[in-house]
Structure 1
């Protein structure tokens, strides 16, 4: 009658045709003797018989083709929920036979280089995000002028709501001035792609920021203006946040002086309950492997302790 098993691959969002054919001696199938049932994961999803056609959303067969013994199933706008085993059961007169089709779905990855900012002569990290792919196996390569780079780290896979995967990849380099005109690339190979996916880019030579909290000695119950002064950085995108005893507090005002200098202003009332509290300004920038933090303690005796630290793991 027809083959017992077939394997099929299709892209998410596309349509697929799963074969099911019946050969009889006569040129046309007698519909009064025929029942066709399609199953997905052992649950019926479509039935065709002398009473007509019933089906679930996004499944169909051609009634015209069915009269000639072709009961192939179309599943449209595929999602990962459609992956699995389909069974076509044909009952014709006293004969009955099943045919299985295994559908494997593919979703091509999207590649974005998320950081290309480095510091000349210092260990720097390039990063990329590869998202929306299925199945899980994927190969990620970092390249400099055709030379494959070592020191690559692939972070833990994340499963998306739609069943696809996202993963971040990084490579650690120590760039020199000679790398300024060299082409760097992140290359992805995946079963869903007819060719590899690649993003080429040049390094962006950045300058890390400096930070300092400007202040006057605290006086009990007298409002104090604190200024987090951040300067000397490139590129200009930067994040500055205030914390009180580790909890985020909203700045009163943020001023951009120019492309490489900003001020974040915090109005703070030093009540007795804040005696000994820690106020900190945290700066995040593409050139930093971790936040840059300036801290001070609330000293209501009129003295102030300050310390500037680089903080990688505590935030």
Structure 2
């Protein structure tokens, strides 16, 4: 500022006409107010600004004019009128938009002298930078994306670093235009970190005109999340069981307890290195000596949830015994469900085919091969007409629906071979 002041004062002392701009380029953020500096000195200071004309142009089009002590301005551009007497002809642009970018001309005239200075206005919008997922998990494939949204102008660089060193085989940056005139860019990288890399720093470096020092680095930490359930053996009077997630800095995680596949308690943690959720498990001997529970954790940006299963038992009841009871219950349940199907599909048709002296019914179908009947009369040959009745060895009366022929033998019980004949 002192340097500019000296330059400004020198022409005044010498009484020379001069126009100068301290900067050839000015940077302004969109929707902000931009100041384009332009200063001048007059040869005849005693005349003041009576013969001074100031004109600002943008891309050859006149924006504002000062002449005869009157300022002609538009809605978004103005001069600092109180500073004109001091030789300050700077232009103020309010609510800067992308279209304001470009060359500006500051023309000052004190007849017969006239000079013009050019200033280039850079309109900028800083990118919104995001990393997905927010953490890098060891021993699994991580598909990372570094994304810069809504920036202007459209020149940008996105680079992946490991411990501040650029990674090899990086993909080219993908840039797209947004409807509002801004730009969005992204760069992806896929790799599987090992346990030896835990604690290492993985980062995305974005370089753009609008950023402080022209760049911004966003870091990810390589880690291994751990999910544990404890205690699994409850002492007398204890009911609390805890599920703990740790090992990383979690931007957001949702934990939940499950029984028989149904969620009955959940908890959400944000910006923490450790998240703990608890439940009450009430056990008693001999009524309920064990219980199966599961704990799940959904990590923000991680497609696969972490899952832990546990059998909680009372002290003195071995966990293996509890698992054996669970296995027996499962086997019995399966048998109860499948046994009727096995009997109906396999056993019944087999018996019907194997034993001719059995009358069996299945799904309203009767398989009759041979039957024993007790009759009241002894005959060598006889016949039964439609509607006749016979009594079997169980004392039950059966109606014969069709004409049948039969043959009897002597004795209290008689074997009858039925042969169906047309009526």
Q: TM-score, normalised by structure 2?
A: 0.45
Does residue 127 in structure 1 map to residue 145 in structure 2? yes
Q: What is the SS of the residue equivalent to 1:71?
A: coil
Structure 1 residue 123 displacement after superposition:
4.0
Number of residues of Structure 1 aligned to a counterpart in Structure 2: 220
Q: 2:133 aligns with which of 115, 118, 127?
A: 115
Residues in 1 aligned to 2:178 and 2:87: alpha-carbon distance in whole angstroms: 41
The match for 2:115 is: 97
Does residue 178 in structure 1 map to residue 196 in structure 2? yes
Instruction: Please tell me whether the aligned partners of residues 5 and 101 of structure 1 are also in contact (alpha carbons under 8 angstroms).
Output: no
Give 1 or 2: higher helix fraction. 2
The match for 1:33 is: 51
Structure 1 residue 53 displacement after superposition:
1.3
Deviations 1:70-120 (A, max 9, x none): 212122342322111111223333333332222223333221102246675
Instruction: Please tell me whether the aligned partners of residues 136 and 221 of structure 2 are also in contact (alpha carbons under 8 angstroms).
Output: no
Q: TM-score, normalised by structure 1?
A: 0.58
Paired residues for 1:4-15 under 5 Å: 7-13=24-30, 14-15=32-33
Structure 1 residue 40 displacement after superposition:
1.0
Are residues 25 and 145 of structure 1, via their aligned partners in 2, closer, same or farther at CA, if it must alter by over 3 Å?
closer
Deviations 1:21-56 (A, max 9, x none): 332233355444232221111111111112611212
Q: What is the SS of the residue equivalent to 1:202?
A: strand
Are residues 134 and 2 of structure 1, via their aligned partners in 2, closer, same or farther at CA, if it must alter by over 3 Å?
same
The match for 1:2 is: 19
Does residue 191 in structure 1 map to residue 209 in structure 2? yes
The match for 1:53 is: 71
Instruction: Please tell me whether the aligned partners of residues 21 and 37 of structure 2 are also in contact (alpha carbons under 8 angstroms).
Output: no
The match for 1:230 is: none
Residues in 1 aligned to 2:262 and 2:169: alpha-carbon distance in whole angstroms: 37
Paired residues for 1:216-227 under 5 Å: none
Higher relative contact order, structure no. (Cα contacts within 8 Å, ≥ 6 residues apart)? 1
Does residue 202 in structure 1 map to residue 233 in structure 2? no
The match for 1:226 is: none
Instruction: Give structure 1 stretches of 5+ with no counterpart.
Output: 207-234, 238-254, 261-284, 289-315
Mark the structure with the bigger radius of gyration.
Answer: 2
Does residue 71 in structure 1 map to residue 106 in structure 2? no
Are residues 42 and 66 of structure 1, via their aligned partners in 2, closer, same or farther at CA, if it must alter by over 3 Å?
same
Residues in 1 aligned to 2:196 and 2:176: alpha-carbon distance in whole angstroms: 36
Instruction: Please tell me whether the aligned partners of residues 135 and 223 of structure 2 are also in contact (alpha carbons under 8 angstroms).
Output: yes
Q: What is the SS of the residue equivalent to 1:67?
A: helix
Structure 1 residue 155 displacement after superposition:
4.2
Are residues 182 and 96 of structure 1, via their aligned partners in 2, closer, same or farther at CA, if it must alter by over 3 Å?
closer
Instruction: Please tell me whether the aligned partners of residues 117 and 287 of structure 1 are also in contact (alpha carbons under 8 angstroms).
Output: no
Q: What is the SS of the residue equivalent to 2:171?
A: strand
Structure 1 residue 64 displacement after superposition:
2.4
Q: 1:139 aligns with which of 144, 157, 160?
A: 157
Instruction: Please tell me whether the aligned partners of residues 15 and 76 of structure 1 are also in contact (alpha carbons under 8 angstroms).
Output: yes
Are residues 120 and 21 of structure 1, via their aligned partners in 2, closer, same or farther at CA, if it must alter by over 3 Å?
closer
Are residues 74 and 107 of structure 1, via their aligned partners in 2, closer, same or farther at CA, if it must alter by over 3 Å?
same
Q: What is the SS of the residue equivalent to 2:82?
A: helix
Structure 1 residue 203 displacement after superposition:
4.5
Instruction: Please tell me whether the aligned partners of residues 19 and 108 of structure 2 are also in contact (alpha carbons under 8 angstroms).
Output: no
Are residues 113 and 17 of structure 1, via their aligned partners in 2, closer, same or farther at CA, if it must alter by over 3 Å?
same
Instruction: Please tell me whether the aligned partners of residues 137 and 222 of structure 2 are also in contact (alpha carbons under 8 angstroms).
Output: no
